[in-house]
Structure 1
Amino acid sequence: MRRKLVLIGLTLLFIFLSATLLGFVLNDVRFEGLRTIEKDELAQAYSTYIGKDINMYAVEDIISNLEELGYFEDVQYNLESVQGKENEKVLVIKVVENEPITKVSLEIAGPGIISKETLQSSITIQEGKAFSFNKFWESINNIAKIYSDNGYIVATPKSEDKTFAFVYVSGRIDGNNVLFKVTEYVLYDVKFEILSDDEQFKAEFKKIENQVSLSKYKDYAQKNILLKIFDSPRNYVPNLQKMQEFFQFLSKYVYFKVIDISSSEIETDTPAKELVVTVTDNTVVTQPVQLKGIRTKGNTIFTEKELVGEPKEGVYTNFQILKAIQAVKDKYDKAGYYVNLNLEAGSDGYLYIVVTETKVKDVKILGNDRTKTYVFDDLIAVKPGDYLNRNQLQATYIELKKSNFFKDVKLNIEPLDTSNANVIVTVLEKDKKSDSDFQVGITWGPVNDRPWYEGFAGVLSLSSTNPFGYGENFSVSLMKALSNTNLSLSFGIRKPFEMPLGFTSSISFNQETEEGTTTTKWSTSAGISTLKLPIGQFSLSTSYSETTVSSETVLTTKTLSLTGTYIYETLDNLYVPMKGYSLTLSGTKYFPFSEQGSDAVSYFAEVTYHFPLSETISLATRIYNSQVFQTSGAPISFSLAGPYQVRGAKSDEKGTVLVLNNNEIRFKEADQIFYFSLFYDIGFVGQDYSFDNLKSSTGLELGLVLPMFGLVRVGVGLQILPTFSPNFNTYFILGQTF
């Protein structure tokens, strides 16, 4: 009997193992009970198993995947054999859907730092579909990710620490309705609680408190209406970078330590938080001590005298010792160096500030899978063996961004020990869509003395920067209007074959017909330039142009020119600079290649300066002067046109001397593709330096970076000189600002 029971048990075990471990081919999956969910939406749960030899473990995995989607309150299944195919089966899954969603809505409380449309596009839960908790939380996380990707500190109901979060994303289920809610908090105020009995420390901390750079909404609320026009509540929702800068600012001081940080919501006209930082003074000595003086150890960048002066014997309080340490820290910080400071009591009666200066052990470049390292490594200002310096890191970031080779650039410091660190330069290659930009479109610009419709033109453009990773750029553009045709091709490359030079070349064709006269001009040029050196950048270029004017007669002018240029610039951006300055000096010699060819010499000098008033506002000015000395041939002249114009003032004059001063207050958010400015321009063009023909204007300009054209600038101006005109004049400029 016992042996029979054992045999029955083994048989049942064999049947079970056959059903679970022995396989069958999954022919198809069929659903019963679907109402709002399409079968295709569930394919991710089972598609990898179709046509494969599977077992019951795979079936259980399919059911588990379906349950994780969250659409169903019940899931049952059975297997059906396929007629005529013994080893193939169909998985029949019977489901009961959750109740469908009637309405999905999004509510935003706050200044609206990200558009509602952008946030709504990230919501994956849909009206008319069965409710899913998975999609519900996925939608919350997607909304939160948009904010975090834009640099904001975000919290959700599942976040653990909400102290520093200034964006809160949540959701609510009310019957068959789903509401997502985003609360954007402005920083109303920052308060400090000081736990100390040291009056010297308290007085010093008050000075530090007044230097806190975090923008506070209470200051915005007190601004008058005019100043609010140039500001926005959006600027008072702090992002991660601003909070990091705030705590980095506090870390500059050795007088105190932060022992607590808290935040609380307060009532105002928009959701707001108040930050409370509790600090106490650092204690080096509890009672004044007699010292022969304070000295330093380990410093090599600065001398002891530069750091603490001459040692002085006397009684030192805790605050006086901290002040000496702070003086050392300030000296290094002002120069941009990273250091660690410690104290050491010497047996000789001196107190020593031990300085550990951080050196760069290695510079690692990551992410340049396509771009050759030699193309841009000279733009990395920090080198192995250098003392780690934040000014060099900032210069590296700016120059790499200005190269336009990469979609993004990040710099990080990897500490190795107290005196060594690696610098990690991480670049993000442009994707294929960004590498080459092909555009077809229609544009319009203001025209003078011609019908308005002649301002329309068809445009065909193809451009790319660094598509193959050799630092190359090229562009081809064709613009065709009723009365003119423009075709241009250009190519440039940085450090070809690892040579420390840059090369550019171009060819262009222009034809314009006006009042029976057709002017055809084509030109070609080639140039070579040095890389950006500590003393500036030098370049030499040559160009050849041929102009034919056809009416009743035909006149052809051929000229070769040779140009030398020197540029020194510290600008933070080449399209729309917000800080830095530049100096450009250029001279050109024209050689006649035909009887009417030009024989002349010209020069131009340009100086620009950009002074940041805040993170988003900058004062910019430019002084420009050019002059030509003509010997013979077709005249070379200048006009107040294009990038060099008195904006909004009509001018048809040409001359051999041009003087121009452009001034503007520029408003631009970081990493935005647009800006606007208020400007005042003054200048003249003539045959000599007589200032009796001055033109000036004031107005408003809007700039937008477009793939097809680069920076497009449109504005309106009121002419002030030589006579005031109450009529607004529109202008249109392609190209970078000064």
Structure 2
Amino acid sequence: MRRKLLLILGCLFVIALSVYATEFPVTVTGIGIDGNVKIKASDIMKAVPFHSGDKITSDQLKDASQAIYDLGWFSDVIPEVDDAGLVTFKVTENPVVKKIEITGNVNTEPFSILGWTLFRTRIMTSDKARSILRDKGVKKGKVLNNNSLKDGLQAIIDAYDKKGYALIMIGKVTPGETLSIQIIEGKIEANIVTGLSTVPEKIAADMIDLPLNECLKKSAIQRVLSRLQGSVYFSKVDVKPQQGATPDSVRLLWTLTERKLIDAPVTISGIDLSGVTLFPQEIAQGAIGDLPQGEIDNYGLLQVLKGLFDLYYRNGYVMVKFVPGAVESGRLAIEVEEGKIGKIQISGNDNTKTYVIEKVLGIKPGDILNKNKLAVSYQALMALKYFNSVNVDPQWSDDSVVLSVSVVENKKLGGINGSVAYSPESGGLVGKLDYSQKNLLGTGQDLNFSFSRGLVNDQSATWDLGYS
């Protein structure tokens, strides 16, 4: 690493000397390429923005060098300018690839038909990895292109991602006549739980049932996250990977925020609920568990309220929270805040009118947030095809929920298809032309326009206009 850094600094020093040895601006008398073997000089010259006769500054010369480097074929590009104004770019080509070695792709997955596992095969075979690289332009017999290599490596990771695997990385890449690529198929070495005070760590550990020393699928992590987030015991869940003992081993650090209802143990004989509107009072009261004898701590109280929490969560009311009050005559007052929406914030809609999103969303302030209804609203917004993505994020703010809806709009919502031509016989246009525009002027209206005219009956044309 140190040697590589010194080499880079040395190259920069050489460039600086070659540039600053000449007084700028300078009038270019000619442009040459030196050092290229396989790459045509004409292809390199296309990246140079100036020509003979142009007066250039040192910054323009540096920009031209960078533009040549950005072509991806070279490991070094050094510009030189002589006293006569001749600009020469000295390039060092990347090697011609003769062999591609793939390592690290050792884990397997089952090949099943109708639920029967016939055999196991590698998640990513070396031939498949080479094929992906070839599709991106990294081929044997060709000069290695840095840009193609970068795209190819990303495509390999994307192929794992498409199969649902997480923790996949590219390790050491050694360019040369033999291009060596190390794939790191991450496996969980251990799960570490932090952040708990009264809730036993075993409660969380039992929920985090991820397999150890196996390649991990995203769906498995998502199941665990959903399980933890849907538990009465935790108000916030965060997971971060840490490097394990080997390059392909990962420790997952689970930071859990315990749902805090009481700071110190209390002695109570009963619980009085208020704020329940979604269920009959007797059903809500009946969902409360039995109270233990003597003092009860925060974990014990969460255990007692687990049935009530699950009742709300099971029916889609995922923002429910409990606010404890005072203990009077041995009874603890608990106010149930069911997740009433106080405000809806919409952002990212530079073109689409806010009222269009509000109408399709179908949710308004005063509603109690429901996960199932929110999913329907999300699908309805995406079905408009106005947006590349929609992100819905509910958060508590004081005693109500703020629902943030952020969208990323599609840049192209319309198009023209068909062809028309001039007919000498009719003296007019013939053919068919279709035009469509979705979300016209951001109003949520779609426009379709069609024009057709034929040669057989050139006195008539057909116009169709659709508006929805």
- State TM-score, norm by structure 1: 0.42
Match of 2:89 among 77, 90, 93: 93
1:304 CA drift (Å): 6.1
Deviations 1:266-306 (A, max 9, x none): xxxxx999989899998978997421322346666567655
* Larger relative contact order, structure 1 or 2 (CA cutoff 8 Å, min sep 6): 2
The runs of 5 or more residues in structure 2 that have no matched partner are 1-18, 110-122, 420-431, 453-461
After TM superposition, list the pairs within 5 Å mapping 1:327-726 onto structure 2.
Answer: 327-337=307-317, 338-346=319-327, 349-356=330-337, 357-364=339-346, 366-367=348-349, 369=351, 377-403=358-384, 405-406=385-386, 408-413=388-393, 415=395, 417-418=397-398, 419-429=400-410, 431=412, 435=415, 466=438, 468=440, 471-472=445-446, 493-494=467-468
2:293 alignment counterpart = 315
Say which SS state the counterpart of residue 87 (structure 2) adopts: strand
Whether the 8 Å contact between 2:324 and 2:334 is mirrored in structure 1 is: yes
* Correspondence 1:248 to 2:226: yes
Shift in CA distance, 435/67, structure 1 to aligned 2, threshold 3 Å: closer
CA distance in 1: counterparts of 2:412 and 2:50, whole angstroms: 29
1:177 CA drift (Å): 1.5
1:558 alignment counterpart = none
Whether the 8 Å contact between 1:381 and 1:395 is mirrored in structure 2 is: no
Whether the 8 Å contact between 1:393 and 1:411 is mirrored in structure 2 is: no
* Correspondence 1:120 to 2:133: yes
Give the aligned length: 398
1:395 CA drift (Å): 0.9
1:178 CA drift (Å): 1.3
Whether the 8 Å contact between 1:400 and 1:409 is mirrored in structure 2 is: no
1:58 alignment counterpart = 60
Shift in CA distance, 399/64, structure 1 to aligned 2, threshold 3 Å: closer
CA distance in 2: counterparts of 1:151 and 1:380, whole angstroms: 32
CA distance in 1: counterparts of 2:176 and 2:155, whole angstroms: 23
Aligned-partner residue type, residue 94 of structure 1: K
* Correspondence 1:238 to 2:217: yes
Aligned-partner residue type, residue 472 of structure 1: D
Say which SS state the counterpart of residue 293 (structure 2) adopts: strand
Shift in CA distance, 120/50, structure 1 to aligned 2, threshold 3 Å: farther
Say which SS state the counterpart of residue 365 (structure 2) adopts: coil
Shift in CA distance, 62/199, structure 1 to aligned 2, threshold 3 Å: closer
Deviations 1:396-425 (A, max 9, x none): 12223444x336442321647343323214
Say which SS state the counterpart of residue 168 (structure 1) adopts: strand
1:93 CA drift (Å): 2.0
1:127 CA drift (Å): 4.0
Say which SS state the counterpart of residue 403 (structure 2) adopts: strand
Say which SS state the counterpart of residue 47 (structure 1) adopts: coil
Instruction: Looking at secondary structure, tell me which structure has more helix per residue.
Output: 2
* Correspondence 1:295 to 2:280: no
Shift in CA distance, 176/185, structure 1 to aligned 2, threshold 3 Å: same
* Correspondence 1:32 to 2:34: yes
Whether the 8 Å contact between 2:416 and 2:436 is mirrored in structure 1 is: yes
1:178 alignment counterpart = 179
Shift in CA distance, 427/245, structure 1 to aligned 2, threshold 3 Å: farther
Shift in CA distance, 252/438, structure 1 to aligned 2, threshold 3 Å: farther
Bigger Rg over Cα: 1
Instruction: Looking at secondary structure, tell me which structure has more strand per residue.
Output: 1
Aligned-partner residue type, residue 224 of structure 2: F
Shift in CA distance, 255/79, structure 1 to aligned 2, threshold 3 Å: closer
Whether the 8 Å contact between 2:97 and 2:143 is mirrored in structure 1 is: yes
- State TM-score, norm by structure 2: 0.60
Shift in CA distance, 363/490, structure 1 to aligned 2, threshold 3 Å: farther
The runs of 5 or more residues in structure 1 that have no matched partner are 1-15, 83-88, 155-164, 219-235, 266-270, 440-459, 479-487, 495-738
1:367 CA drift (Å): 4.4
After TM superposition, list the pairs within 5 Å mapping 1:220-231 onto structure 2.
Answer: none
Aligned-partner residue type, residue 272 of structure 2: R
Shift in CA distance, 61/376, structure 1 to aligned 2, threshold 3 Å: closer
